[in-house]
Structure 1
Amino acid sequence: MGNDWQIRPARQDEAALLPAVEDASGVLFRTIPDLAWIADDDVMPAEAHLAAIAAGTCWVAAEGGTVAGFLSARAATEDGAGADAGRTVLHVWEMSVAPAHQGRGLGRALLEHAAAHAAARGMAAVTLTTFRDVAWNAPFYARTGFAVLPDAALTPRLRGVLVAEIAHGLPAARRCAMRRPVPSVS
Structure 2
Amino acid sequence: MDTVMIRQTEPRDAPLLPSVERSAAQAFLQFPDLAWLANGSVQSVEKHLELIEGGASWVAVDSEGLPVGFLNGILTKLDLYICEVSVQSSHQGKGIGRRLMEAAKEWAVSCGCKSITLTTFRKLPWNEGFYKSLGFNTLNESELTQALYDIRNEEIDAGLPIEQRCAMCLHLV
Query: Which residue identity is paired with 1:117?
Result: W
- Pairs within 5 Å for 1:118-137: 118-137=108-127
**Structure with greater helix share of residues:** 2
How far apart are the structure 2 equivalents of 1:172 and 1:70?
A: 24
Query: Which residue identity is paired with 1:101?
Result: H
Instruction: Show the counterpart of 2:75.
Output: 75
Instruction: Show the counterpart of 1:94.
Output: 84
Identical aligned residues as a percent: 40
Unaligned runs of 5+ in 2: none
* More displaced 10-residue stretch of structure 1: 122-131 or 64-73: 64-73
Instruction: Show the counterpart of 2:21.
Output: 22
Shift of residue 55 of structure 1?
A: 1.4
| 2:105 pairs with one of 108, 115, 130 | 115
Query: Which residue identity is paired with 2:136?
Result: F
* CA distance 1:182–1:104, change in 2 (3 Å): same
How far apart are the structure 1 equivalents of 2:80 and 2:170?
A: 10
Runs of 4+ in 1 over 3 A off after TM superposition: none
How far apart are the structure 2 equivalents of 1:95 and 1:136?
A: 10
Shift of residue 4 of structure 1?
A: 2.6
Query: Which residue identity is paired with 1:8?
Result: R
After superposition, the C-alpha distances for 1:39-96 in whole angstroms (9 at most, x for unaligned) are 111001111110111111110011232211000111124xxxxxxxxxx200110110
Shift of residue 166 of structure 1?
A: 1.1
How many pairs align?
172
- Secondary structure of the structure 2 residue equivalent to 1:128: strand
- Secondary structure of the structure 1 residue equivalent to 2:35: helix
RMSD between aligned residues: 1.2
Instruction: Show the counterpart of 1:50.
Output: 49
Unaligned runs of 5+ in 1: 78-87
- Secondary structure of the structure 2 residue equivalent to 1:43: coil
Query: Which residue identity is paired with 2:24?
Result: S
Instruction: Show the counterpart of 1:80.
Output: none
1:66 aligns with 2:56: no
